[in-house]
Amino acid sequence: MNLARFWAIFRKELIHIRRDIRSLMQIILLPVMLLLLYGYALTFDIKHVPTAVFDQEQSRVSQDFVTWFMGSEYFDVNRFVSSYQEIDELLTSRTVKLVLVLPFDFSRDLKKGVTSKVQALLDGTDANTANIILGYVQAVVSGYNQHLVVNRLTRQGMGYVQMPVSTEGRFWFNEDLESVNYIVPGLIAVIMTMVGALLTALTVVREVERGSMESLMSTPLKKAELLLGKLAPYFFIGMVDMGITIAMGQFLFGVPQRGSLILLIGLSAIFLIATLGHGLLISVSSENQLQAYQMAMLTTFLPAFLISGFVFSIYLMPWPLRVMSYLVPARYLVTISKGIYLKGLGLAVLWPQALMLMAMAVLFIGLAMGKFVKKIR
């Protein structure tokens, strides 16, 4: 490969990017916008659930039970209703997510030693959120039950009774269970996929549509010099976007980074080469820019967002999607990024993912080279 010819194509592509100010600004601002959007809006931390109470008894005991929910950071008890019609209106309008219904005989059953039933009505539109809220309700009720049992035994003269079994939970790697610590490392893969695939998917087909490809092919340029010269600027842009993502994650969101930054950058560079090769393959296979953009969205961004493990756990997916995820390069970078950020893993553990990214980089670049030769004959 002639470095002078490669440098000429590299400069040509840089000039094209520099002249397209709007696209250049979008490329630079993309990680900033995605981080702000997902870092603040996409969260799995469910707290301050809007809660209403239908206390049919209005006794001191029932009010004491409600106080346990009012003292929890997970519930905001801000409404008290007096009919099921009000409950229907509140749940239908999504004003509240939870309604607690205490029966008329709540305290009477407790005094008799009979289990008193409290109804929890939840908005099941979002099944995952509803299940989490129900778990919070059961935890508060469990604490209240333990409180009642200890008081009863104390009144009977048995003194303090220690529970036979207690659970002391400790979370590793993400001690505070902050969603942002889970989301930001995965965003590196999504952002680099967008920059690498969506932009390079337009490089070659744009030359074909403008009629400048024939002029390029009339020169002594070899296919490697042409294609790699077009990819190189986007590689540097992708690495700059990655640097912005890492800096914002650390200084804006305070995401801990327990592993090697150099290892993260190195493996991300390999992933970016694979993604650039994928975008290049799309570009040389498409007939126009619209088709290339649609194919890039369908085969790169959507899989990176949905089945890479960025948001949704792969092991919870149906087996066809789990198998398909092995074909998505972002899956391996998401594993690498989260492992380095949260667990401090090194290459001794992450080498299978690194090997897969290297294989995909060679595969996509090789297929793009072969397809490009066939296309221009």
What are the pLDDT digits (tens) for 255-299? Answer: 888 899 999 999 999 999 999 999 989 988 888 888 888 888 888
Are 332 and 193 found together in one domain?
yes
The structure tokens listed for 315 are 């092991």
pLDDT, residue 362, reads: 94
pLDDT, residue 29, reads: 81
For residue 254, is it left (φ>0), alpha (ψ between -120 and 50) or beta? left
Q: Is residue 172 part of a domain?
A: no
Q: Is residue 34 part of a domain?
A: yes
pLDDT, residue 330, reads: 93
Are 184 and 106 found together in one domain?
no
Are 206 and 252 found together in one domain?
yes
**Lowest mean per-residue pLDDT among 237-251, 265-279, 321-335:** 237-251
pLDDT, residue 158, reads: 64
Is there a contact between 252 and 35 (Cβ–Cβ < 8 Å)?
Answer: yes
Are 26 and 65 found together in one domain?
no
Distance between CA atoms of residues 162 and 157, nearest Å: 14
The parent domain of residue 353 ranges over: 3-42+178-376
Alpha helices in 20-123 (DSSP H): 21-41, 60-70, 84-92, 106-112
Distance between CA atoms of residues 191 and 25, nearest Å: 15
Q: Is residue 164 part of a domain?
A: no
Crossing angle for the helix pair 223-251 and 21-41, nearest 10 degrees? Answer: 40
Are 366 and 305 found together in one domain?
yes
Distance, C-alpha 337 to centroid of its chain: 12
Residue linked to tokens 């969205």 = 297
Mean pLDDT of 210-217: 70
Residue linked to tokens 């942002």 = 180
* Number of domains observed in the structure of the chain: 2
Are 15 and 54 found together in one domain?
no
Mean pLDDT of 315-339: 92
Q: Is residue 94 part of a domain?
A: yes
Task: Please check the confidence at residue 376 and state whether its pLDDT lies above 50.
Answer: no
Q: Is residue 103 part of a domain?
A: yes
Distance between CA atoms of residues 372 and 377, nearest Å: 9
Q: Is residue 217 part of a domain?
A: yes
Mean pLDDT of 39-67: 86
Q: Which of 42-56, 75-89, 209-223, 309-323 has the highest mean pLDDT?
A: 75-89
* Mean pLDDT, rounded, of the chain: 85
> Exposed/middle/buried for 252, CB within 10 Å: 0-12, 13-18, 19+?
middle
Amino acid at 51: T
Distance between CA atoms of residues 112 and 57, nearest Å: 16
Task: Please check the confidence at residue 356 and state whether its pLDDT lies above 90.
Answer: yes
Q: Is residue 161 part of a domain?
A: no
**What is the tens place of the pLDDT at every residue in 168-193?**
777 788 877 777 888 888 888 888 88
pLDDT, residue 370, reads: 86
- For residue 148, what is the domain's CATH number? 3.40.1710.10
Task: Please check the confidence at residue 363 and state whether its pLDDT lies above 90.
Answer: yes
Q: Degrees (nearest 5) of the Cα angle 272, 356, 281?
A: 50
Q: Degrees (nearest 5) of the Cα angle 308, 45, 140?
A: 130
pLDDT, residue 225, reads: 82
**What is the tens place of the pLDDT at every residue in 105-145?**
888 888 887 888 899 999 988 888 898 899 999 999 988 88
pLDDT, residue 166, reads: 66
Are 27 and 113 found together in one domain?
no
Select the more confidently predicted residue: 37 or 320. 320
pLDDT, residue 325, reads: 93
Distance between CA atoms of residues 306 and 309, nearest Å: 7
Are 15 and 125 found together in one domain?
no
Are 81 and 22 found together in one domain?
no
Distance between CA atoms of residues 342 and 121, nearest Å: 37
Task: Please check the confidence at residue 161 and state whether its pLDDT lies above 70.
Answer: no
Task: Please check the confidence at residue 244 and state whether its pLDDT lies above 80.
Answer: yes
pLDDT, residue 119, reads: 92
pLDDT, residue 4, reads: 82
pLDDT, residue 351, reads: 95
Are 94 and 76 found together in one domain?
yes
Q: Is residue 169 part of a domain?
A: no
Distance between CA atoms of residues 284 and 343, nearest Å: 40
Band (pLDDT 50/70/90 cuts) for residue 377 is: very low
Are 53 and 8 found together in one domain?
no
pLDDT, residue 113, reads: 77
Are 367 and 232 found together in one domain?
yes
